[in-house]
Structure 1
Amino acid sequence: MILGDMNFDDVNFDDIAGIAHEPCGDPTGVVLLTHGAGGSRDAPMLVRICDEWAGRGWLAVRYNLPYRRRRPKGPPSGSAAADRAGVAEAVSIARELTDGPVLAGGHSYGGRMTSMVVAGDGADEGVAVDVLTLFSYPLHSPGKPERARTEHLPRIGVPTVFTHGTADPFGSMDELTAAAALVGGPTELVEITGARHDLNSKTLDVPKLAVDAALRMLG
């Protein structure tokens, strides 16, 4: 039984500054999502995605990266190593909670940090998750396509979902398609027509589309 008869009140995510979205009944597994460089666990898109997962029977946790725990505003600065350690800690906590699948990812910077943790550094194996779910992956800085953040992608061996807006200045769909082809595991691209980096859409249900794709990856 996933999480058995555990009372959710006994599940403590304080160490990762996490907020849990609880399903009705025993969870199928755990989903961990974190935020972009200028955001926090309270980003509206993360809240909506976690609500969608909880509605599908999963325990979904949105959490703050270490740099955001240290200060309420501002971008990360020299904190990448600590932020990756924060991702690894979150996955470790999730593994202690469930015998079922653990999915992890996040928006922009948070998704990139999570993907690097799963990829490992070449010398050490990455942290094990069942599916990566990445939102608005920051393939490069706006206007700097020659500086693609793709070196670690071939070391990712797990199924990976990229949910991306067609008007995202951090990477076009063509660029992201080429980058996804580098991933060592199976991939799926969820295209959000007209959306920019925030993935806001007036016509598409972004959380539903992203969750559907991740569940397909689980098989």
Structure 2
Amino acid sequence: MSKGQGMGIDGDQCAQGGEGQAWLWNRPVGECRATLILAHGAGAPMDSEFMQQMAERLAARGVAVLRFEFDYMAARRLDGKKRPPNPQAKLLEQWRAVHDRVRQQVAGPLAIGGKSMGGRMASLLADEQGADALVCLGYPFHAIGKPDKPRVAHLAELRTPALIVQGERDPMGDRPKVAGYTLSQTIQVHWLTAADHDLKPLKSSGRTHAQHLEAAADAVAAFLTR
């Protein structure tokens, strides 16, 4: 794997990405069995609590995680002003550049994916880029309140092995709604009981968010290192 592996995850290791932007690495202390490039969702940065906890949990399970920020989010970090996501073409362009750069730095399996929007963008180019695997955490099967406009056409033909970790009551794709979609046989969907888009369960379920994050990390690590 890349130089610096085994440095530990007691503090995120920073590396320069494209155009002077910083990347965040979480690396396993021991053997690295796979690498995952994990992109953030539309409204939260690469170091949000969700992204941080998932990266730490995966690194503890032998998966190195690289996080980066899309340009609109990196700009918000500089001046604090909220911006909408960049146009899809721009997001995909940046995803390609990050994947190509990381591919040059690591050996072994390299997966791409992300939280919500980040995962959706990864799914759009997984086949094109020849990614070894795809991981989506809370896939936005449709916009909130717009189940009649699904974002699934490309998922029916996906060739890349994929894992979608989804909450059963996700307002962007709950279990009954997703059951009606035609998905490629390469896609596995791992359902979390009574969980929402951030994988948080109802209190009445008897589950905690931490337990769901642990379950998600277990599923992702098993999928990537099988």
**TM-score (normalizing by structure 2):** 0.81
**Equivalent of residue 68 in structure 1, options 39, 50, 73:** 73
Aligned to 1:122: none
Partners of 1:166 and 1:75 lie apart in 2 by 30
SS of 1:197 mapped into structure 2: coil
| Cα shift readout 1:118-164 (whole Å, capped 9, x = no counterpart) | 14xxxxxx112122110111111122111001122133211111111
Partners of 1:190 and 1:114 lie apart in 2 by 18
Aligned to 2:10: none
| Cα shift readout 1:24-52 (whole Å, capped 9, x = no counterpart) | 13422311111111111012111111111
SS of 2:129 mapped into structure 1: coil
Aligned to 2:164: 162
Q: Say yes or no: does 1:208 pair with 2:214.
A: yes
Cα pair 1:138 1:149 within 8 Å, conserved: yes
Q: Say yes or no: does 1:53 pair with 2:55.
A: no
Partners of 2:16 and 2:176 lie apart in 1 by 38
Partners of 2:115 and 2:83 lie apart in 1 by 14
Aligned to 1:105: 113
1:62 deviates by 1.7
| Cα shift readout 1:6-65 (whole Å, capped 9, x = no counterpart) | 235998343253211121134223111111111110121111111112112222112211
Q: Number of matched residues?
A: 208
Aligned to 2:15: 12
Partners of 1:118 and 1:57 lie apart in 2 by 22
For residue 56 of structure 1, what is the amino acid of its counterpart? R
Aligned to 2:204: none
C-alpha RMSD of the superposition: 2.3
Partners of 1:177 and 1:17 lie apart in 2 by 39
Aligned to 1:123: none
Q: Say yes or no: does 1:30 pair with 2:35.
A: yes
SS of 2:114 mapped into structure 1: strand
Aligned to 2:183: 182
1:104 deviates by 1.3
Between stretches 73-82 and 24-33, larger displacement belongs to 73-82
Cα pair 1:188 1:213 within 8 Å, conserved: no
Aligned to 1:192: 192
- Of all paired residues, the percent bearing the same amino acid is 27
Cα pair 2:35 2:63 within 8 Å, conserved: yes
| Structure 1 portions without partners, runs of 5+ | 120-125
The 1:27/1:192 distance shift into structure 2, 3 A limit, reads same
Partners of 1:145 and 1:75 lie apart in 2 by 25
1:102 deviates by 0.7
Between stretches 185-194 and 144-153, larger displacement belongs to 185-194
Partners of 1:50 and 1:117 lie apart in 2 by 22
